[in-house]
């Protein structure tokens, strides 16, 4: 294939997108809309699109942020549920990809394992696994929309004596289709978003559920339906209603986050009062729903219409705050001496963070592991040419940031095309001080600290968690700022 006068046997694309989840589909839309003359494809490791929303199949799997902001701005979410279940989100992703001509650009069963940048030829050589077969192609720009966690290996908390347990052990990432829970004793280990989703759903399915947590999480109840959005939908055209509802929710979420950061005591009190009202007990709140940390030191969990509290209040589910001494053949012995009987144990103990989809990145043969890199605008890396990663917010819907990232990438690509530049490399100033990338103390973040890139000490080297500031920056800033270009 021919590119700027060079000839190689390998297929060459202007842009290679890795991953066909929400981010990759959004990237495809923006490439089509904003950079229509570029050649591009999406490589997806799995045999279906949808990423997270196709992988996770546990009972009740759902969003924990509202779909007006988790949906794409170019394809407003119109379903009546503002907090939606996994199958609905997957349908929406499939329909969006079909409608905008993205499905035909996705190559399923293509796992990208290596990417090597050559300064001499100004292109990436990408190695792809297709089952047993390895093949290569080249691209001018590599855009990693590969999510943030390891699809194959979840976090392994090394639960003591687990091997001696005679019942079934299930991880939410690999939920068996045929797992029957009705009438069985199920212990869900964990207190994060997955555990609080699973507990009421398993209880609904007829299980006797115990949520076993080492430490509580802050939990907020949100209405599954958003009545204000319903009104907006009645009085405004679809797109305008989508935009209005998105901004309403952006501002609402930012308000709660800022209040939590500036006046944590106020948020603690509001969340505790909300939980006490739903549970009908202040003792339960004190014992099981009052973390030692402040709200938004770790991600705030959301429960739609207070379903978790309802399950606990009605006695369908129980919460135990304790630590595991050891597993026994019939259950778990806790450090307090108490024993929990279990037929099934669900290890909702978290994901393993993985940046860049596990792709081994090299620049002119030199390895560039993500943990050694500094982010530029939270999407490119210092001294790594023509490569971007698409990551969302930790304190708001992923898509808000992912879409800005894709629009920024298209602006950069267009600038390069206009000026006939082939290479764009962020260059950090000498002596810049590195800082941790994410503002959370959650286990999954601290466990991954060594593998996460850093952010710098000033713009454009910051990873902000603020949609309004990012929006201005990503859509209007000068793409030449701290960027070196070459032909
Ligand atoms: C259960 C659950 C619920 C969530 N709920 C919310 C929520 O309510 N709100 C929110 O904002 N966020 C939520 N998140 C975070 C969620 O992951 C994002 O919202 C969003 O789905 C991420 O989309 P993505 O396309 O970036 O990544 P993913 O959905 O992870 O998709 C990445 C894709 O890239 C592919 N891929 C990865 N590496 C490679 C490779 N090397 N080669 C080829 N393909 C590769 C994967 O197979 C996958 O299909 C949730 C996460 C989970 C696990």
Q: What percent of the chain has pLDDT over 90?
A: 92
DSSP for 398-424, please give it: HHHHHHHHHHHHHHHHHHHHHTT--EE
Give the residue-averaged pLDDT of 143-154.
96
Q: How far is the CA of 55 from the centre of ligand 1 (A)?
A: 9
Task: Please count the other Cβ atoms lying within 10 Å of the Cβ belonging to residue 273.
Answer: 12
Give the residue-averaged pLDDT of 390-406.
95
pLDDT of 211: 97
pLDDT of 478: 96
Out of 52, 302, 400, 438, mutate this one to test ligand 1's pocket (max ligand atoms within 8 Å of CB): namely: 52
pLDDT (tens digit per residue) in 287-296: 999 999 999 9
The radius of gyration of the chain from alpha carbons, rounded to an integer in Å, stands at 23
Contact 46, 55 (CB under 8 A): yes
Residues framing ligand 1 (Cβ under 6 A): 18-24, 43-46, 51-52, 56, 61, 63-65, 70, 111-112, 145-147, 151, 194, 357-359, 390, 392, 397-398, 402
Q: Is the pLDDT of residue 4 over 70?
A: no
Q: How far is the CA of 113 from the centre of ligand 1 (A)?
A: 18
pLDDT of 439: 74
pLDDT (tens digit per residue) in 330-379: 999 999 999 999 999 999 998 999 999 999 999 999 999 999 999 999 99
Give the residue-averaged pLDDT of 370-391.
96
Out of 21, 249, 301, mutate this one to test ligand 1's pocket (max ligand atoms within 8 Å of CB): namely: 21
pLDDT of 445: 82
Model-level pTM? 0.94
Element (H, E) at 190: none
Inter-CA distances, 108 with 42, 48, 112, 201, 359, Å: 8, 6, 11, 32, 17
Q: Whose CA is nearest to atom 12 of ligand 1?
A: 398
Q: Is the pLDDT of residue 95 over 90?
A: yes
Q: How far is the CA of 45 from the centre of ligand 1 (A)?
A: 13
Give the residue-averaged pLDDT of 273-281.
94
The minimum-distance atom of ligand 1 relative to the CA of 128 is: 42
The minimum-distance atom of ligand 1 relative to the CA of 397 is: 11
- The whole-chain average pLDDT of the chain stands at 94
pLDDT of 2: 41
Q: Is the pLDDT of residue 1 over 70?
A: no
For the chain, domains (ranges, CATH) are: 12-152+352-486 (3.50.50.60), 162-227+274-347 (3.50.50.60)
Of 20-29, 111-120, 219-228, 443-452, least confident by mean pLDDT is 443-452
pLDDT of 3: 44
Which residues, other chains included, contact 78 with Cβ-Cβ below 8 Å and sequence gap of 6+? 233, 238, 242
Inter-CA distances, 264 with 269, 293, 405, 440, Å: 9, 10, 31, 15
pLDDT of 8: 66
What distance in Å separates the CA atoms of residue 239 and residue 246, rounded to the nearest whole number?
10
DSSP for 435-471, please give it: EES-S---HHHHHTGGGSPEE-SSTTS-----HHHHH
Give 340's strand partners: 332
Q: How far is the CA of 440 from the centre of ligand 1 (A)?
A: 19
Q: For residue 152, give the DSSP letter.
A: S
Q: What percent of the chain has pLDDT over 70?
A: 98
């Amino acid at each position: 294939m021919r590119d700027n006068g060079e000839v190689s046997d390998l297929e060459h694309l202007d842009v290679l997108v890795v991953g066909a989840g929400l981010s990759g589909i959004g990237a495809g839309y923006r490439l089509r809309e904003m950079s229509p003359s570029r050649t591009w494809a999406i490589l997806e490791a799995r045999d279906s699109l949808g990423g997270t929303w196709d992988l996770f199949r546990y009972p009740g799997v759902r969003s924990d942020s509202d779909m007006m902001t988790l949906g794409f701005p170019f394809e407003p979410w119109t379903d009546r549920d503002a907090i939606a279940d996994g199958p609905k989100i997957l349908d929406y992703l499939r329909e969006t990809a079909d409608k905008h001509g993205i499905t035909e650009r996705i190559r399923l069963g293509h796992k990208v394992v290596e990417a090597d940048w050559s300064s001499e030829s100004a292109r990436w050589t990408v190695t792809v696994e297709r089952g047993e077969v390895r093949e290569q192609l080249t691209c001018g720009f590599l855009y990693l929309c590969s999510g943030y966690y390891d699809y194959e290996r979840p976090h392994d908390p090394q639960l003591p004596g687990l091997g001696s347990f005679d019942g079934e052990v299930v991880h939410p990432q690999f939920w068996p289709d045929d797992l029957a829970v009705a009438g069985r004793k199920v212990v869900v280990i964990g207190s994060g978003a997955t555990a609080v989703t699973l507990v009421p759903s398993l209880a609904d399915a007829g299980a006797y559920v115990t949520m076993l947590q080492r430490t509580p999480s802050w939990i907020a109840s949100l209405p599954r339906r958003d009545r204000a959005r319903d009104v907006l939908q009645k009085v405004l055209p679809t797109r305008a209603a989508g935009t209005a509802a998105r901004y309403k929710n952006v501002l609402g979420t930012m308000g709660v986050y800022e209040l939590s950061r500036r006046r944590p005591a106020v948020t603690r009190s509001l969340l505790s009062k909300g939980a006490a009202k739903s549970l009908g007990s202040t003792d339960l709140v004190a014992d099981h729903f009052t973390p030692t940390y402040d709200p938004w030191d770790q991600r705030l969990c959301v429960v739609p219409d207070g379903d978790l509290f309802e399950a606990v209040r009605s006695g369908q589910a129980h919460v135990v705050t304790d630590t595991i001494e050891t597993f026994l053949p019939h259950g778990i012995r806790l450090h307090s001496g108490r024993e929990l009987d279990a037929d099934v144990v669900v290890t909702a103990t978290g994901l393993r963070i993985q940046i860049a989809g596990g792709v081994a990145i090299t620049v002119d043969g030199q390895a560039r592991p993500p943990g050694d890199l500094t982010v530029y605008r939270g999407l490119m890396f210092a001294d790594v040419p023509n490569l971007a990663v698409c990551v969302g917010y930790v304190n708001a819907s992923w898509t808000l940031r992912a879409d800005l990232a894709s629009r920024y990438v298209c602006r950069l690509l267009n600038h390069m095309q206009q000026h006939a530049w082939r290479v764009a490399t962020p260059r950090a100033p000498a002596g810049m001080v590195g800082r941790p990338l994410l503002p959370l103390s959650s286990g999954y973040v601290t466990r991954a600290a060594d593998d996460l890139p850093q952010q710098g000490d000033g713009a454009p080297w910051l990873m902000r968690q603020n949609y309004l500031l990012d929006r201005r920056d990503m859509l209007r800033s000068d793409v030449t700022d701290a960027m070196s270009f070459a032909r």
